[in-house]
Chains A and B, each alone.
Chain A
Amino acid sequence: MYTGIGLPTEGWDAPVANESPHIVISPTTVIAQPSSEIYQAAPVVGFVSAPSLMQNSSFIVRNSGSALRSAPRVLGSQLLNALALPFLLLYPTPMGGGDVPMRPLPLERRRNFTIRNDSDRAAWNRYLGTFGSSPRLAEQELNDYLENSGATYAGSRNLPDLENPWVRYQRFITGKGYEEIWRLNGRMMGVDGTSGGYYLEAKWTGTDATWGSSPYNPQHAFYSEQNLLDQAGKYLLLNQETGGKGVMYILSSEKGREHFEKLLRQHFPEEMENGTLRVWYTPGNGM
């Protein structure tokens, strides 16, 4: 597996063949290898072919604002100066092509970007696919994607002005009359609360006496296993993105807890086993 600056170490599917001769850019060195054909117009992340280097007199180091002149040794020193960049995106430009103005990404976002999931990979592949025909559009789209990816706290929203049991239970569990709103990969997500570094999801599943008519009971007409799993997946991703300790599901009935324990253990066995995902029963007595 290639290593380099900000290079994905898993799921790498950019069109660079492992066996192709190339220059590997690492944080400390640039190694030129004799070689052949890769990349004429396509962008390169961390790799560029030796012939390209020799045949094209200028390269743009993305976001560095400078055009780099030919020889690998020079390129290498420039790269070392530019190591603050998250990943080095090099592509050949025509002779004397000069710099291409680009909107820089927030440094932290670029530095942390790796291909970790299918949507990252899809965005990256879109970028590669579009680049040859419309570099600026491709850049813009990738920037937009990156700016919208990850997790950012977007504020809070008050719990509804209702006396419904779920509202009272959520307030009882979190101790708050509001819930948090996070922007996760560009989409809003509600979080019931946080405590001691854990994200809390309070689920009113009735009491054991009313569990039979709860929509969280798999026999119910409005039960949606997919929605529950999607929600758990989002919580786990949020936890991962923000470095949280884990996610706690707190249920109001023992029968509800048994169901969630079984469901989540079936679909998230590792997270349940290592304690990142936990399921508790707390009755709503006195809520």
Chain B
Amino acid sequence: MMQLGLVEVKRVSGRNDYQHECGWELNVYHENSECFAIEINLEVFLETDSLDIVAYHNKRDEFYHKFMYYTKELESVIGKPAFSDGAAARGFPHDQEAAWLSLWKVQNARLMIQQKHEDRELPFRVVLVIAP
């Protein structure tokens, strides 16, 4: 982690947080000493519960466009994703939780852009996820 410019800033049960020298944060989730996900939040909107219905739908659209933007950015670097669709689509990874997800298979891991919003009172997020 040090070689990547990451410094551990917080450690709680099941999660270690690191901060990069540029300021962004990385969360490492683990269970029984095995890492099952690394997350970097690319975009976050916290105040979801305060939105009226119009603002809420606008925020949903805004985060969908952000999801598409980051998908295209990554696509331009590592190629077309193996999967890119919504949570109800066939082929959506059963161990992942997201509204929209683009997935690239790399050597020993899956690289994903996920648009998350797990409940009305929880944030809208676009997240870069690395998982086994």
Residues of A within 8 A of B (CB): 157-158, 160-166, 168, 190, 203-204, 206, 209-210, 212-222, 227, 231
Within 8 A of A (CB), among B7-45: 12-15, 17, 27, 29, 31, 36-37, 39, 41
Q: When A157-B53, A163-B87, A164-B99 are in contact, do A221 and B118 touch as well, CB less than 8 Å? A: no
Count residues of B near A (Cβ-Cβ below 8 Å). Answer: 33
Cβ A163 vs Cβ B88 within 8 A: yes
A residues within 8 A CB of B29? 212-213, 219-220
Cβ B94 vs Cβ A219 within 8 A: no
Q: When A204-B119, A221-B39 are in contact, do A210 and B97 touch as well, CB less than 8 Å? A: yes
Q: In this assembly, does B69 line the interface, its C-beta being within 8 Å of a C-beta of chain A?
A: no
Cβ B14 vs Cβ A203 within 8 A: no
A residues within 8 A CB of B17? 221
**A166 CB contact (under 8 Å) in B57, B60, B119:** B119
Cβ B88 vs Cβ A166 within 8 A: no
A residues within 8 A CB of B57? 160-161
A203 vs B121: C-alpha distance when bound (angstroms): 11
A168 vs B99: C-alpha distance when bound (angstroms): 11
Cβ B36 vs Cβ A212 within 8 A: yes
Q: When A163-B87, A166-B118 are in contact, do A221 and B15 touch as well, CB less than 8 Å? A: yes
Which 3 residue pairs spanning A and B have beta carbons closest together? Answer: A219-B14, A164-B99, A210-B97
B residues within 8 A CB of A231? 121
Would you mind naming 23 contact pairs between A and B with Cβ atoms under 8 Å apart? A158-B53, A160-B53, A160-B60, A160-B120, A161-B57, A163-B87, A163-B88, A164-B99, A164-B118, A165-B87, A166-B117, A166-B120, A203-B119, A210-B96, A212-B31, A212-B36, A213-B37, A213-B39, A213-B97, A219-B15, A220-B29, A221-B39, A221-B41
Q: In this assembly, does B86 line the interface, its C-beta being within 8 Å of a C-beta of chain A?
A: yes
A residues within 8 A CB of B125? 222
B residues within 8 A CB of A210? 95-97
The residue of chain A having its C-beta at the shortest distance from the C-beta of B44 within the complex is A222
Please give 6 more A-B residue pairs, beta carbons under 8 A apart, in addition to A162-B117, A210-B96, A212-B37. Answer: A160-B53, A163-B99, A166-B117, A204-B118, A204-B119, A209-B94
A218 vs B87: C-alpha distance when bound (angstroms): 24
A residues within 8 A CB of B39? 213, 221
A200 vs B95: C-alpha distance when bound (angstroms): 27
Give B26 Cβ to nearest chain A Cβ, in Å: 10
The residue of chain B having its C-beta at the shortest distance from the C-beta of A192 within the complex is B120
A residues within 8 A CB of B41? 221
Q: When A212-B37, A219-B13, A221-B39 are in contact, do A162 and B123 touch as well, CB less than 8 Å? A: no
Give A214 Cβ to nearest chain B Cβ, in Å: 7
Cβ B27 vs Cβ A165 within 8 A: no
A residues within 8 A CB of B14? 212, 217, 219
A217 vs B12: C-alpha distance when bound (angstroms): 12
Give A81 Cβ to nearest chain B Cβ, in Å: 48
The residue of chain B having its C-beta at the shortest distance from the C-beta of A202 within the complex is B119
Interface centre among A164, A165, A190, A203 (most CB of B within 10 A): A164
